[in-house]
Chain A
């Protein structure tokens, strides 16, 4: 691949250089204190290549993803802006994407979004003006064609690395690889999957992904996370949409003595990372350690994924292309 970079970000550079990428989800605070965001980011930043800022996941309101990205870019971190279709229509989303790119966000993850009914405000109105595939395509059009969905021109295009979600563990299983193909066709550059606890299912899915040649068109990051106990596992599979945890995993936690459950959950997570890494077409992992962020560093270390690369336009500010020329050209073309 000798294509030009699509973003100025580090995640794209890590993936394109062939390194095994690590991303992690930041637990968004229920607070108006920016320091809570910085505290949460601090434990993640040293061990991952990009930090995901969730957009009211599980339909629970927290600090917004745009705001978290704003704080993170100010401090020089590399965030992934998550955009869900549940709460905002196409007008709001396109504006947010432009603003995020202006703040220095390099990665956007396009999601359908969990339904309002699973959250703590089920009486809210659901929007779903776009679906995740239409959202991907919309942002791709903004980035590549430099226009809004209406056709109106942007003076400077957003430079973004586009992400999509995938859930290989939910029915209809035969359709999931085809849906991934659709997302890649719509514009996805990287994929972050739902929690993986079922390696055979992932292997089967990736086999079909390879048959379709999709592993060469987008980077696939497997979602993983530590389970605190068998009760947490039962809760997740009962209440978090789309999470599939095999009985074998739950039983393994149940048989573990109480004081060792957390360590066992961590060990399972490390094992899954190591097994996923062996699968052809897997380019990285995405850690979602909900309320256990302090374990992320240990997991990444024990899985043998340290140190993270620092030379790839990484921790420090990325040198940006001069945009003044681009802006001048755009100004000239709009003048009569």
Chain B
């Protein structure tokens, strides 16, 4: 856990790793598609969960937005908020629900300030979660193009630009 926290508190490192990772996956897309996303999901899910759980306390929502939320997992917020802090944050910056825990979004905001590549994405509106994807690999979901929001959802102007 301590290594995880250290990494999270160096969000610049993480966002570079993310960019490299993203690039690598997109390069390997053709190969992975030929193998079949179902099979790849079965292989990748375990290692992905292990790695992200160690670093981010990942909850396997299957729709990772870490780079848009200051390298802080929004699903660790007890209210699962994906668009910023609720109004209940305590004056010491701790969580309304778990008083001993620092608010996930206070940390996310601080970290996003130190992220030149993706920090601005905190301002984007995240669409509602697809609960059907829970437990699956978000890397495979991304490659297979299953990240679409609900059919009626309209991204805002800023969401489109990004």
Contacts and interface: CB of A to CB of B under 8 A. Distances in A.
Interface of A: 85-86, 90, 112-115, 117-118, 126, 128-134, 137-138, 141, 145, 147-152, 165-167, 170-172, 174-175, 178-179, 181-182, 185-186, 194, 241-242, 244
B128 interface: yes
B152 A133 contact: no
Contacts, number: 126
Contact of A171 (B81, B82, B106, B156): B106
Given A138-B128, A149-B153, A182-B123, A165 B87 contact: yes
Contacts of B105: 172, 175
B147 interface: no
B129 to A, nearest CB: 8
A152 B152 CA distance: 7
A131 B96 contact: no
B88 interface: yes
Given A147-B152, A171-B90, 7 more contacts: A128-B81, A131-B79, A131-B80, A145-B152, A171-B106, A175-B84, A241-B86
Nearest to A116: B97
**Chain A contact residues: helix, strand, loop or mixed:** loop
10 A-B pairs closest in CB distance: A241-B88, A167-B87, A151-B151, A133-B83, A151-B152, A242-B87, A170-B89, A112-B86, A147-B152, A171-B93
Contact of A194 (B87, B110, B151, B153): B87
B78 interface: yes
Contact of A181 (B82, B86, B123, B128): B123
A128 B91 contact: no
Nearest to B102: A171
For B87, B103, B126, which residue has the most chain A Cβ atoms within 10 angstroms?
B87
